[in-house]
Amino acid sequence: MIVMDRGRIGFVALVVLMLAGCAQETKITRVDSGVVTDLSGRWNDTDSRIVAESMVKEALEYPWLNNFSSSKRRQPVVLVGTIQNSSHEHINVGTFVSDLERELTNSQKVTFVAGKGDREELRTERKEQAMYAREDTQKAPGKEIGADYMMKGTIATILDEAEGTKAVFYQIDLQMVDLESNAKVWYGQKKIKKVIEKKRSIF
């Protein structure tokens, strides 16, 4: 009898253990876009947003902005150029560029103009307007505002890994370059370091 009871307990325990692994299912939770979600340790939306916010803020605090405004009596015109990905990850640079553009536009301290890709689309639209739109609503060519400065930079990584622990070091370098003189009026650098630890074995 005692043997039977032990056998039953053992059987039930075995079934519970076997079913424990079957309890996974998809679970979706809505979270605020500002919530930090570090899942894999890779470059994510939080990194993109934080870097863009802090670097644009820093860039606009430096004297080049006031120097330009006081000498030319207008806001400088800025555009975002190429942000080169020199990292170990396939980073969506477009999202980072959008974050930079948003921060620059919303700062109200500079006039922001469309980048190369957008300009092509706008010019095509103007050409089509010249052919198909009513004359009094057509937008004439040759009235674009030329940029005074271009913001460009790189995202680079240094990886170090051993025994399941990985240290990822991101270095984002941004610079504001005077389009007339090629002088670099501002150079900003932001560093992010992440340590990702993986267990060698679990049950």
Partner 1 sequence: MSLLASRPTALIQARWGFFIFTQFLVALVAFVLLAGCGPSVNRYLLIEASLRAHDPKGADAIVAGAEKDYGAKSRVLYGMDRGMTLHLAGDYQQSNAVLEQAEDEIDRLYTRKIRTESLAFMTNDTALFYEGDSYEQVLINVLKALNYALLGQWQEALVEARRIDHRLNLLSDRTQEKNAYRDDGFARYLSGILYESTGDVNNAFIAYRKAYETFESTRSWSHTDVPSQLRADLLRTAEALHFTQEFAEYQQAFPNTKWESSQALQQLAQVIVISYNGRAPRKEDQFLDLPISLNALQLVLLNRGLSQPNRQSNQAMDTVLYGLNGRVVRVALPRLVPQKTHVPIDTVNLIPDHGMKVAVNTELVHNVTALADKSLSERIAGITVKALARATSKFAMAEGATRGAQHAAGKDAGPWVGLLVGLVTKGFAVASEEADKRSWQTLPDEIHLARVWVPPGRYQVQGSAGGFHNPLKSEAMRTLSLGPGETAVLIQRVMP
Nearest one of 104, 91, 85 to 173, comparing CA atoms: 85
Question: What is the closest distance, in whole angstroms, from the C-beta atom of residue 199 to partner 1 in the complex?
Answer: 5
Shortest gap between Cβ of 191 and partner 1 (angstroms)?
A: 18
Q: Which is nearer to partner 1, 133 or 159 (CB)?
A: 159
Residue with tokens 């389009």: 179
- The nearer residue to partner 1, 11 or 133, going by C-beta atoms, is 11
- Least separation in angstroms between CB 18 and partner 1: 9
Residue number with CB closer to partner 1 (58 or 115): 115
C-beta of 172: minimal distance to partner 1 in Å? 16
**Which pair of tokens denotes residue 63?**
């004297």
Residue keyed to tokens 């340590």: 195
For residues 41 and 196, the answer to whether their CB atoms sit within 8 Å is yes
CB of 93 to partner 1, least distance (A): 9
Residues forming contacts to partner 1 in the complex (CB under 8 A) are 21, 40, 84-90, 157, 159, 161-162, 164, 198-203
What are the DSSP calls for 43-112, one per residue?
--HHHHHHHHHHHHHHHHHSHHHHHHHHHHSSPPEEEEEEEEEESSS---HHHHHHHHHHHHHHTSSSEE
Residue 38 structure tokens: 């570090």
C-beta of 43 vs 112, nearer to partner 1: 43
C-alpha–C-alpha distance, residues 152 and 196, integer Å: 29
Nearer CB in complex with partner 1: 23/162: 162
